[in-house]
């Protein structure tokens, strides 16, 4: 494995605490200890603390990420989760997902403010872009290219197209790592991560089942 490979589980609005802990207990022991392999799980907010505790107690090589983060610092922002508070339990935050842009009116400006809050609190921002023209905020070094039509559809983009988009993003933004996403699973992960400019994958549906996620890890 030359360079980092990121495998990031985005559970979206799925799994309660018991289900989350069951997944961690099954997947945790199966993650190879390799400093270039960065495995991250992004549960719902209510599961973050319990998941973090379970990982820490067993010393699993698994990072915890949030699926969002407030564009503001802490204060009078009802319902928001500020970076300074989240940093107790997360190392990464998933920002600008197309589901947030579409369903919650998230704009490039909001994503940019979220990235700033993440960086101010030593949280790694992972920004999702839906095509090569969506802007990557300054300071963000980890980007997931996820065409909207590929998400949850069972029809991923081709590895060759992802590779091309990754090259374009790198030529625009320089020193960044590009992940792919959209219907990635154990049957196709290898074809994506074998592309020279793809540094891993953001995985939604296929990350929910522990056995399928373990299969994905075994394919690397």
Where does this chain bind ligand PEP (CB under 6 A)? 10, 146, 151-152, 181-184, 202-206
How many alpha carbons fall within 13 Å on the CB side of residue 171?
8
CB of 94 to ligand PEP, least distance (A): 8
Tokens of 85: 């508070």
Distance, in Å, from the CA atom of 133 to the CA atom of 175, rounded to the nearest integer, reads: 17
**CB nearer to ligand PEP: pick between 24 and 202:** 202
Active-site choice (80, 109, 138, 146): 146
Burial class (CB within 10 angstroms; exposed 0-12, middle 13-18, buried 19+) of 7: buried
98-131 residues labelled b (16+ CB within 10 A) or e (exposed)? bbbbeeeebeeebbbbbbbbbbebebbbbbbbbe
Helix axes 17-27, 48-58, angle to 10 degrees: 30
**CB nearer to ligand PEP: pick between 81 and 212:** 212
Residue nearest ligand PEP by beta-carbon distance: 204
**CB nearer to ligand PEP: pick between 102 and 218:** 102
**CB nearer to ligand PEP: pick between 19 and 73:** 19
**Can you say how many angstroms the Cα of residue 170 is from the centroid of all Cα atoms in its chain?**
18
CB of 139 to ligand PEP, least distance (A): 22
CB of 81 to ligand PEP, least distance (A): 19
Residue 49 to residues 19, 41, 53, 74, 87, Cα–Cα distance (Å): 14, 12, 6, 19, 11
Residue 70 to residues 43, 134, 199, Cα–Cα distance (Å): 16, 20, 27
**CB nearer to ligand PEP: pick between 54 and 64:** 64
CB of 146 to ligand PEP, least distance (A): 6
Active-site choice (49, 97, 132, 212): 97
146 part of the active site: yes
CB of 125 to ligand PEP, least distance (A): 15
Distance, in Å, from the CA atom of 8 to the CA atom of 80, rounded to the nearest integer, reads: 23
**Active-site residue list:** 97, 146
């Amino acid at each position: 494995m030359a360079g980092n490979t990121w495998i990031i589980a985005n559970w979206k609005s799925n799994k309660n605490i018991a289900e989350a802990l069951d997944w961690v207990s099954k997947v945790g022991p199966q993650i190879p200890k390799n400093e270039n392999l960065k495995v991250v799980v992004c549960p719902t907010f209510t599961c973050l603390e319990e998941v973090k505790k379970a990982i820490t107690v067993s010393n699993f090589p698994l990072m915890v990420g949030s699926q969002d983060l407030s564009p503001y610092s802490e204060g009078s922002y009802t319902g928001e989760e500020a970076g300074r508070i989240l940093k107790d339990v997360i190392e990464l935050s998933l920002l600008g997902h197309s589901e947030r842009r579409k369903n919650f009116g998230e704009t490039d400006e909001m994503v940019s403010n979220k990235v700033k809050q993440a960086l101010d609190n030593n949280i790694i921002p992972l920004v999702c872009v839906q095509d090569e023209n969506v802007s990557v905020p300054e300071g963000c070094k980890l980007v997931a290219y996820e065409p909207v039509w590929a998400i949850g559809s069972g029809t991923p983009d081709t590895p060759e197209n992802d590779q091309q988009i990754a090259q374009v993003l790198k030529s625009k933004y320089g020193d960044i790592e590009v992940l792919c996403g959209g219907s990635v699973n154990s049957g196709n992960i290898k074809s994506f991560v074998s592309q020279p400019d793809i540094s891993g994958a953001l995985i939604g549906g296929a990350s929910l089942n522990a056995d399928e996620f373990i299969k994905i890890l075994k394919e690397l």
